[in-house]
C-alpha cells in the first residue's frame, strides 16, 4: 500500500538520522521513496549521503522567493493582508526539484517557514501545504517527511493526511514531555499509526518499562551507537553505518515491525 510517514520530535533527538535510515530501509525493500526535508536546518541530504558540495548547493523551496511568488502570486514576507493563492500549482515541483539519491530514492528539500518574518498564514505555507496534499502515491510508493523540530509542523496544519508518525525522543524528562505533546497533536490531526522511538538509549529494562507505562502508544528503543556519531563527524551518510551496529540493528527491527 502507499504510505506517508512523518518523523517528528524536538531538536537534536535524531529525527534526521531516523528519517534517513527509514528511507534507505524502505527503498532497499523495493519501495519508491520520496524523502522530504521540512526542517529549519535541512540536513537530510547529508544524512542520505549526498556530497557536501551538492547538499550545500540546494535551495529549499520555501526560500526560493521567486518560485513562491510565481506559484502563489505573493512574495514571502510581504505585508499582512496581501492576497495570494491558497491552492498554487505544485504538480511539477517534485520532477523539477527532486534530487536522485539512488534507484528508488529521491530527495525534496522544502525547508521551514520563518514565522517571525512571514506570519502563520503566508504564501510559503500555502505552497508547502498544497505540495504535501498533492503528492500522489501509487502502490509501493512511500513519502518520508523529516519534520521541523518541535510543534510548528502541527500548528501550521502541515502534519495532516499522514498514515504513520514516528515521534523521536531522547530518554530525558524534557524530551519525553515534548514527545507527549507532539503525540497528542498527532492524534488530534487524525494520524492513524503513532509510535514513540526513544533514541540514544543507555538505560536498562527497568527504565524501558517505566517509559512504556507512561505512554499510550507503542514505544521502541534505539541504543546509543558511537558509530552514528563517528559517521556524522566524518560527514558520511546513514548508508555507511555498519549493518551490524546496535543502532542499525534496532532501527531495522523497528521498521520491520511497523512497515513490514
Give me the CATH number covering residue 22: 3.40.50.300
Q: Three-class SS of residue 203?
A: coil
CA 249 – CA 255 distance, rounded (Å): 10
Question: Per-residue DSSP letters for 40-51?
Answer: SS--HHHHTT--
CA 30 – CA 131 distance, rounded (Å): 24
CA 147 – CA 4 distance, rounded (Å): 12
Residue 114, burial from CB neighbour count under 10 angstroms (0-12, 13-18, 19+): middle
Domain count, the chain: 1
The pLDDT tens digits along the chain (260 residues) read 678 899 999 989 999 999 999 999 999 999 999 999 988 788 999 999 999 999 989 888 777 777 777 777 766 555 444 444 556 667 778 888 889 999 999 999 987 655 434 444 466 667 777 777 677 566 668 999 998 887 766 755 566 778 999 999 999 999 999 999 999 999 988 898 999 999 999 989 999 999 999 999 999 999 999 999 999 889 899 999 999 999 999 999 999 999 98
Q: Rounded to the nearest 10 degrees, how much is the dihedral formed by the CA atoms of 236, 58, 97, 93?
A: 120
Full residue range of the structural domain in which residue 246 is found: 3-259
At 200, phi and psi to the nearest 5? 60, 40
At 131, phi and psi to the nearest 5? -65, -50
Tell me the three cell numbers of residue 134: 498533492
Amino acid at each position: 500500500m502507499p504510505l506517508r510517514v512523518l518523523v517528528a520530535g524536538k531538536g537534536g533527538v535524531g529525527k534526521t538520522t531516523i528519517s534517513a535510515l527509514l528511507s534507505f530501509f524502505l527503498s532497499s525493500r523495493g519501495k519508491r521513496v520520496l524523502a522530504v526535508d521540512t526542517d529549519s536546518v535541512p540536513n537530510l541530504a547529508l544524512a542520505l549521503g549526498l556530497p557536501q558540495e551538492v547538499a550545500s548547493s540546494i535551495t529549499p523551496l520555501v526560500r526560493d522567493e521567486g518560485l513562491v511568488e510565481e506559484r502563489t502570486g505573493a512574495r514571502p514576507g510581504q505585508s499582512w493582508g496581501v492576497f495570494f493563492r491558497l491552492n498554487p500549482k505544485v504538480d511539477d515541483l517534485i520532477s523539477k526539484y527532486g534530487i536522485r539519491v539512488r534507484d528508488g530514492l529521491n530527495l525534496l528539500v522544502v525547508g521551514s517557514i520563518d514565522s517571525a518574518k512571514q506570519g502563520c498564514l503566508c504564501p510559503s505555507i500555502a505552497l508547502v501545504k498544497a505540495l504535501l496534499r498533492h503528492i500522489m502515491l501509487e502502490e509501493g510508493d512511500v513519502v518520508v517527511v523529516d519534520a521541523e523540530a518541535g510543534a510548528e509542523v502541527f500548528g501550521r496544519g502541515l502534519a495532516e493526511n499522514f498514515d504513520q508518525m514516528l515521534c523521536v525522543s531522547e530518554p530525558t524528562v524534557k524530551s519525553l514531555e515534548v514527545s507527549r505533546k507532539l503525540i497528542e497533536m498527532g492524534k488530534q490531526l487524525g494520524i492513524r499509526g503513532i509510535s514513540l522511538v526513544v533514541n540514544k538509549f543507555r538505560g536498562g529494562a527497568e527504565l524501558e518499562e517505566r517509559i512504556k507505562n507512561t505512554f499510550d502508544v507503542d514505544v521502541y528503543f534505539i541504543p546509543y551507537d558511537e558509530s552514528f556519531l563517528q559517521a556524522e563527524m566524518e560527514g558520511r551518510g546513514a548508508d555507511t553505518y555498519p549493518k551490524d551496529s546496535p543502532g542499525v540493528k534496532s532501527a531495522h527491527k523497528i521498521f520491520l515491525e511497523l512497515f513490514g
